[in-house]
Amino acid sequence: MPLPPLPTKPATLLDTDSLPAVKPGRKNRPAKKETTAQVTPVSQPDTAPVAIAPRGKASSAGLLLSPSDKPVAHRKANTPVTSAAPAAAQRADTTAPRSNTAPVTATVASQAPAQTDKRVPSAPPAPVKAAAGKHAARVKTARKPEARTLFVLDTNVLLHDPSSLFRFQEHDIFLPMMMLEELDHNKKGMSEVARNARQVSRSLDELVGQTADIAAGLPLNALGSKEARGRLYFQTSAVHNSLPADLPMGKADNQILGVVHALQQKHGDRPVVLVSKDINMRLKARALGLAAEDYFNDQVLEDSDLLYSGMLELPASFWNKHGKDIESWQQGGRTFYRLQGPLCAQFLPNQFVYFEGDMPLYAQVQEVSGKTAVLATLRDYTHAKNNVWGVTARNREQNFALNLLMNPECDFVSLLGQAGTGKTLLALACGLAQVLETKRYSEIIITRATVPVGDDIGFLPGTEEEKMLPWMGALEDNLDVLNTGDQLGNSQGTEWNRAATMDLIRSRIKVKSLNFMRGRTFLNKFLIIDEAQNLTPKQMKTLITRAGPGTKVVCLGNIAQIDTPYLTEGSSGLTYVVDRFKGWPHSGHITLQRGERSRLADYAADTL
């Protein structure tokens, strides 16, 4: 077959005006597969408006693009869009209907404002997902995981809290060799520090037995602690002295600082922090440019003002929001109210609420269930007929405290307050009334921490009770007050005040030392723990767990008068039990605020 002759004229471009207008039909519609395969659809409009011109006019068939787009002239309908084409041109190419033969002309919009077709709705600009190629640089890279902090523990942290090894969550712990030497020096004896040192040594021995390679680090969760997810490292090599020459390396604190400095240089991209209870050591570390922190895990509260007070003042709008659908009934000489409202969800069992307005209310929370609470009225101990061993309440807080102390369903009571608020007097009066009058308890046991305010006076002669008598001067003073009604404003007193003698009272009061409480069980006793702010949380746990059936435990103290070293208002055992026992149905707490000792004592407590 012969070949066709060569063309004698150059090819010319077809003009859209010379072509008849073709209505889009099923046969002439572009296939969906070609459109989706050639163009990446964008759901959001671009910043530049798009004008769709009517068919049949080549002069108005252009697409209005952004000024930064490059012109694409006489592109065929089935030509795929390259990655350099903007998202607006891709959308316009797929939106405008075209035939298989008619080419599409794309021109760059002039700087004059373009007229947008009214049929195209305008939308705010939206970010467009970056495609592969040159747009891939716009995609944000994922952040690298933050490095775990390496905490270097001082010896006093472990002696203060033996379980501090497992309190640092996902972070790692490093123990210098000098710290192990100091643990060995402090393990002998029967003191609290010696017991903590031995406990730390046992924990370290168990951790070392779980792993053969010490240099790789010991997993802290090997002993079952789920909170500790880090690793424990020991100092396995000598550290060169890089501290100033003025600091002698023979001192233990300076050697630990040298280890911290060496670790900081070795792990440049990882934070290294010294944890110590020694303020001077933290100051030296910061002076050398080392990060140092105090050990805060033992702090129950950062601010003592946030401590639970045991009472809540109701707002002025309380009856407007809670005065509907009130149920009331009487039982055992008390009136109960069932209230519903938003404030009821904030109540705690045995918490006292009061409202001093047109409709005053003094009540105790008995039950809380969602937004429903049951309140019970109080016994008025401010009246002389309701006195307890000749003692009547002189203010609102003392009335709340007497309701707790005389409640047989309340097994644990804690009273806080400054000097002269009547903590010991109220507790002793309630104890005598329930031991000698109602026979609810067999005897009163009083104990306290033997921490001197000044220098220690040395060994005391005599038996256990004789050795404790100098520490129980507050007991003697309050017994004198309870046996003379003149100082209480009641010269005649009650029948028991007139008949009871000091010998009878002393036969029912036992003074015990804290050192011999381990392993004991108190049955039907009224246990008073005086000056409880000087006890650690561990000591407080030891005392409270001595309570057997029918025993009531009363803790008294003032967190502003702490004499024990290394204890603060936030780490005291008294603060610990107040925070842990709130909300338990068989415990109560009251913070006494007004002093009743004398005007001199009140003024001194406020100003000094």
Of 197, 154, 201, 147, the C-alpha closest to 172 is 147
- Rounded mean pLDDT of 476-502? 60
pLDDT for the residue 547:
92
52-81 CB burial, b ≥16 within 10 A, e <16? bbebeebeebbbbbeeebeebeebeeeeeb
pLDDT confidence of residue 53: 42
Q: Tell me the average pLDDT across 174-202.
A: 90
Is the pLDDT at 146 greater than 50? The verdict is yes
* Tokens standing for residue 388: 């307890």
DSSP label of 99: -
Contact indicator for 174, 151 with CB cutoff of 8 Å? yes
**Residue 487 pLDDT > 70:** no
Residue 597 clears pLDDT 60, i.e. is over it: yes
- 131's CB contacts (< 8 A; 6+ apart) are 40, 83
Give the pLDDT confidence of 270-279 residue by residue, as tens digits: 899 999 989 9
Question: Residue 338 belongs to what H/E stretch?
Answer: strand 334-340
Strand ranges, E, within 68-193: 150-153, 172-175
The per-residue pLDDT for range 386-424, each reduced to its tens digit, is: 999 889 999 999 999 999 999 999 999 999 998 889 899
pLDDT number for residue 434:
94
pLDDT given for residue 102 in this prediction? 40
Q: Are strands 172-175 and 231-234 parallel, antiparallel or unpaired?
A: parallel
- pTM higher than the cut 0.75: no
* C-beta separation of 468 from 533 below 8 A: no
pLDDT of residue 103: 41
pLDDT score, position 71? 41
What does the pLDDT look like over 222-261, one tens digit per residue? 888 888 889 999 998 887 767 777 787 778 888 899 999 9
Greater pLDDT, 65 or 376: 376
Which structure tokens are listed for 29?
């519609």
Contact 378, 588 (CB under 8 A): no
Which pLDDT tens digit goes with each residue over 12-57?
A: 554 545 445 544 444 444 444 444 444 444 444 444 444 444 444 4
* Mean pLDDT computed over 470-477: 76
169-184: average pLDDT = 91
The pLDDT-based confidence of 525 (bands split at 50, 70, 90) is very high
Question: For 300-314, how does the pLDDT look when each residue is reduced to its tens digit (9 = 90+)?
Answer: 676 667 889 999 998
| Alpha-carbon span 415 to 428, nearest angstrom | 13
What distances in angstroms separate CA 75 from CA 4, 13, 49, 71, 83, one per listed residue?
A: 28, 12, 21, 10, 15
Phi and psi (nearest 5°) for 460? -115, 140
**Choice among 230-244, 255-269, 434-448 with the minimum mean pLDDT:** 230-244
3-state helix, strand, coil in the chain (%, to 5): 35, 15, 50
Grouping H, G, I as helix, E, B as strand and the rest as coil, residue 80 is coil
pLDDT of residue 9: 56
| pLDDT exceeds 50 at position 318 | yes
Specify whether the CB–CB gap between 54 and 60 falls below 8 A. Answer: yes
CA distances from 151 to 176, 293, 485 (A): 11, 10, 60
Asked if pLDDT for residue 1 goes beyond 70, the answer is: no
Count of other CB atoms within 10 angstroms of residue 423: 28
Residue 133 one-letter amino acid: G
pLDDT number for residue 129: 41
Confidence of residue 65 (pLDDT cuts 50, 70, 90): very low
Class of residue 344 by CB neighbours under 10 A (exposed 0-12, middle 13-18, buried 19+): buried
Name the pLDDT band for 213 (thresholds 50, 70, 90).
confident
Q: Measure the CA–CA gap between 425 and 398, rounded to whole angstroms.
A: 11
Are domains 150-294 and 407-450+465-485+497-604 of this chain identical in fold? Answer: yes
Q: What pLDDT score does 11 carry?
A: 52
Instruction: For the domain covering 407-450+465-485+497-604, report its CATH number.
Output: 3.40.50.300
Asked if 92 contacts 48 with a C-beta cutoff of 8 angstroms, the reply is no
Predicted pLDDT of residue 453: 57
Cβ burial 552-562 (10 Å sphere, 16+ → b, else e): bbbbbbbbeeb
Higher pLDDT, 483 or 286: 286
Residue 321 clears pLDDT 80, i.e. is over it: yes
CA distance 98 to 32: 13
In this predicted structure, what is the pLDDT of residue 418?
A: 87
Other residues' Cβ atoms within 10 Å of the Cβ of residue 91: 20
State the pLDDT at residue 413.
96
Q: What pLDDT, on the 0 to 100 scale, is given for residue 454? A: 56
Using CA atoms, how far apart are residues 448 and 517, in angstroms rounded to an integer?
11
The sheet carrying 172-175 orders its strands as 218-219, 231-234, 172-175, 150-153, 272-275, 291-293
What are the extents of the domains in the chain?
Answer: 150-294, 311-377, 407-450+465-485+497-604
The CATH code belonging to domain 150-294 is 3.40.50.1010
SS3 193: helix
Mean pLDDT of 487-491: 44
Quick one: three-class SS letters along 562-596?
A: CCCCCCCCCCCHHHHHHHHHCCCCCEEEEEECCCC
Query: What mean pLDDT do residues 156-184 have?
Result: 90
When pLDDT is cut at 50, 70 and 90, the band that residue 376 belongs to is: very high
pLDDT, mean over the chain: 75
pLDDT at 316 over 80: yes
Residue with the larger pLDDT of the pair 112 and 211: 211
Tokens representing 192?
Answer: 């609290």
Q: Is the pLDDT of residue 108 over 60?
A: no
